Structure 1
């Protein structure tokens, strides 16, 4: 059942609808079908729509002579990507704001397109003077500050490869990734602010540098405003330190070069919670083309819009916002602070202050706000806002409705957006101007030839299956850094020439698409596959529960049983009854909603759900902690104490089982 049915005019005025009309497609379904049938023609049309200019035009849009796993896009084309992202906008509208920044303590900065162009040139020249050239790797260990975007663009300007790291990593995690990519330069901040307190970074950066033989230079951004870093504090220096604001070089030292479309632009590492981090490779043309296309078609972002996403530059959505948003000439908002500091209304203040039109956040963040006092925006605070964006995990219906109905006043669409680091953007999305159904997607983004496949590789409707992609697209990763076999095994090893994404999905009777979570998170109870989101949605529909996470654990009888973790509302009701009574009630509540065979084995109360900085729930890490197995790299976890609490609960549960068994 649709919860939102826009008028026909709302659809006809979107850029996607105009694209369909301009190129003679009958409707969105026809566009998807034709794009799958003639991908070269479709992507030529996308290049025209996003306004990408070429120094040397490509002679062939797509070459799959090496197979769909290794496509060549925009063959022999050469482009000046930074001129497309910054230079041409600086010439056309020099005073237009490119980046607005707000710090944790309320500091404000604005940078025009002309100022951004000049700063990128300065830093690019400084890197050249340090001996950095095309193909060299530059690692970024920076919070959400404008210097992060400048450094990425400066690296792009000279053909170097940038590698953004999560700002919350410790020295070991930084060093591990530097060793893998053999970075020559590390650009770091001396720290940042979070909840009003300083978070130091320079000591970790220096420790990582000492453990990284490939590093030659450490460039330090003074985010804390405490003046030049004291090199005497560096210990036994392994590389030369520079101040970011005093980088050597002059503009004339860095000549302008156009780079091939398939030149490596960026390596971005996955979190590594399931093994060694993977360096995902993206290219000069593919990554910005996919980002700009998704923002234009799925979000209807225009040059006069302002885009803000709650993210970190070490997650895909940070570079995606920069390279996609600037391609379209929009204004970007970087927010360094914590979403609920100093109170739950902070985000709406930021949206109002910067006149944000497109605002992206995670379902986990919405659940947190929903449970906080004073989290609804005051009247008029969101007058500029047209679109919500959401990615990172599956929705539950209650928080989706809260965001849409109470925050968005039932008139701002939620663009549910699902893809991944290796995708370079999205697979499925909603689209402004089309009807919406809670938690669902309108369908594949044009250019993504997507199916839901059963265990035999046949397309299915009305039942859950594996999300798969049958055709290449420009934004797809060009493999994992120096590990082609791992790339093949991860995505191409199930059926020939089919990308298996690892998400469990379905298409319902109304044609809406649903993502039920990672397929390796899916729980199989007595032969029936159930997504963790089903249990989580059932639990958060109970008035006691704020957040919930469900994981599958081994069970001798059923194969797997479900163990759930919840955070709850404080109050007299909770205190009036012991937890075992509440647990029994919650188990029965889930049984009434999902059926008695799907009642969870246990529901544990926790003080906090472990999450990454960008709000993702880490189910596999929680499962490992509960079972007492190795959880993998935890450096991306925002609240590692919450993992320790899950480990303690699991240890107690195992002791009880052992005691009963003896």
Structure 2
């Protein structure tokens, strides 16, 4: 397994960390100070329970109490407070949560942070080519507001389904939050899927818009995502608009384009006449936010609906 001679820094003669069995088997124990400052300790203090076992027993006896306590611990920004945690009157299969409340995930994730700490770090992205883009809380809110306005200008309305077929880029995060802000529904699609797999998910949820990219880098190679997206759209008659994030730009010699259907993300959000959406409408916590599909390895992919008040 190579040279495992230790140096004073715990590395071998080549400078690589040593992962000997004695090190791997060593059990780490947090100090009392770390335990006292942990999220679990704060939750226990808020709940009034003595330890984790007591908390678990109480949660099993009274799930509504536990989730009310958890929400208080998370300090979620509600648009309107709920008066009842859960309603099981129609049976467990039709459970309703946060009765009487209003909660928009995007508003809670973006707006409250920007208001509290505008210059705080919100998002940092580093590409495979070492490109780095960073957003403060305030900058992320501005980007989400403009993206939400752009999506509305492209015809996306409340309840519309939008496919996100993107690599890991900042626009992926911005798209999710912008769609939540206008109460549209997104479905995430793995950027490594082929056209049939993409099309099956778009068709199943009735998506009308697809957000994709010209391409991206993976292990030093260019992945031509737009060609795959176009092939998927050809199999999905419901798609009327394709919004394209410019990731590779000059490294893609030719991006296939459908005039009248395709638009560049940066040009659309940069439109000087665009009206940003800076305030999310009051949102019932049971409003759908995401439809995520199973892998399809054992049968047809199945879509699971996640709502604003229960988003992972």
Question: TM-score scaled to structure 2, two decimals?
Answer: 0.85
Cα deviation for residue 111 of structure 1 reads 1.1
Distance of 1:199 and 1:54 partners within structure 2: 41
In structure 2, which of residues 163, 167, 178 is the aligned counterpart of residue 139 of structure 1? 163
1:244 has 2:265 as partner: yes
Structure 1 pair 37–93 and aligned structure 2 pair: CA distance change class (3 A): same
1:148 has 2:169 as partner: no
Match of 2:60 in 1: 36
Name whichever structure is richer in strand by fraction. 1
Cα deviation for residue 228 of structure 1 reads 10
1:206 has 2:227 as partner: no
Which runs of structure 2 are paired with 1:382-531 in the superposition (5 Å)?
none
Contact 1:78 1:258 (8 Å CA) reproduced: yes
Write out per-residue CA displacement over residues 538-566 of structure 1, whole angstroms, 9 at most, x where no aligned residue: xxxxxxxxxxxxxxxxxxxxxxxxxxxxx
Equivalent pairs, count: 285
Which runs of structure 2 are paired with 1:157-196 in the superposition (5 Å)?
157-196=181-220
1:26 has 2:47 as partner: no
Contact 1:128 1:254 (8 Å CA) reproduced: no
Match of 2:150 in 1: 126
Contact 2:77 2:112 (8 Å CA) reproduced: no
Distance of 1:144 and 1:240 partners within structure 2: 24
Distance of 1:254 and 1:279 partners within structure 2: 30
User: SS of 1:69's equivalent?
Assistant: helix
Cα deviation for residue 93 of structure 1 reads 1.5
Distance of 1:182 and 1:136 partners within structure 2: 8
Distance of 2:87 and 2:152 partners within structure 1: 34
Contact 1:222 1:228 (8 Å CA) reproduced: no
Contact 2:82 2:101 (8 Å CA) reproduced: yes
Write out per-residue CA displacement over residues 87-117 of structure 1, whole angstroms, 9 at most, x where no aligned residue: 1211222121211111112111111111110
Match of 1:109 in 2: 133
In structure 1, which of residues 85, 89, 103 is the aligned counterpart of residue 109 of structure 2? 85
Structure 1 pair 239–37 and aligned structure 2 pair: CA distance change class (3 A): farther
Distance of 2:116 and 2:292 partners within structure 1: 32
1:65 has 2:89 as partner: yes
Distance of 2:134 and 2:279 partners within structure 1: 28
Structure 1 pair 243–56 and aligned structure 2 pair: CA distance change class (3 A): same
Match of 2:78 in 1: 54
Match of 1:577 in 2: none
The structure showing larger relative contact order (alpha-carbon pairs under 8 Å, at least 6 residues apart) is 2
Greater Rg by CA: 1
Distance of 2:293 and 2:259 partners within structure 1: 24
User: SS of 1:198's equivalent?
Assistant: strand
User: SS of 2:58's equivalent?
Assistant: helix
Distance of 1:229 and 1:198 partners within structure 2: 11
Structure 1 pair 99–253 and aligned structure 2 pair: CA distance change class (3 A): closer
Write out per-residue CA displacement over residues 602-631 of structure 1, whole angstroms, 9 at most, x where no aligned residue: xxxxxxxxxxxxxxxxxxxxxxxxxxxxxx
Write out per-residue CA displacement over residues 354-412 of structure 1, whole angstroms, 9 at most, x where no aligned residue: xxxxxxxxxxxxxxxxxxxxxxxxxxxxxxxxxxxxxxxxxxxxxxxxxxxxxxxxxxx
Cα deviation for residue 230 of structure 1 reads 6.5
Cα deviation for residue 286 of structure 1 reads 0.7
Structure 1 pair 92–6 and aligned structure 2 pair: CA distance change class (3 A): closer
Distance of 1:25 and 1:119 partners within structure 2: 42
Question: TM-score scaled to structure 1, two decimals?
Answer: 0.41
Structure 1 pair 82–146 and aligned structure 2 pair: CA distance change class (3 A): same
User: SS of 1:273's equivalent?
Assistant: coil
Contact 1:184 1:217 (8 Å CA) reproduced: yes
Structure 1 pair 229–151 and aligned structure 2 pair: CA distance change class (3 A): farther
User: SS of 2:90's equivalent?
Assistant: coil
Structure 1 pair 140–81 and aligned structure 2 pair: CA distance change class (3 A): same
Distance of 2:120 and 2:155 partners within structure 1: 33
Structure 1 pair 252–221 and aligned structure 2 pair: CA distance change class (3 A): closer
Distance of 1:230 and 1:171 partners within structure 2: 19
Which runs of structure 2 are paired with 1:271-420 in the superposition (5 Å)?
271-287=295-311, 291=312
In structure 2, which of residues 238, 245, 253 is the aligned counterpart of residue 221 of structure 1? 245
Cα deviation for residue 252 of structure 1 reads 5.4
Q: What 5-or-longer segments of structure 2 have no aligned partner?
A: 1-24
Cα deviation for residue 4 of structure 1 reads 3.4
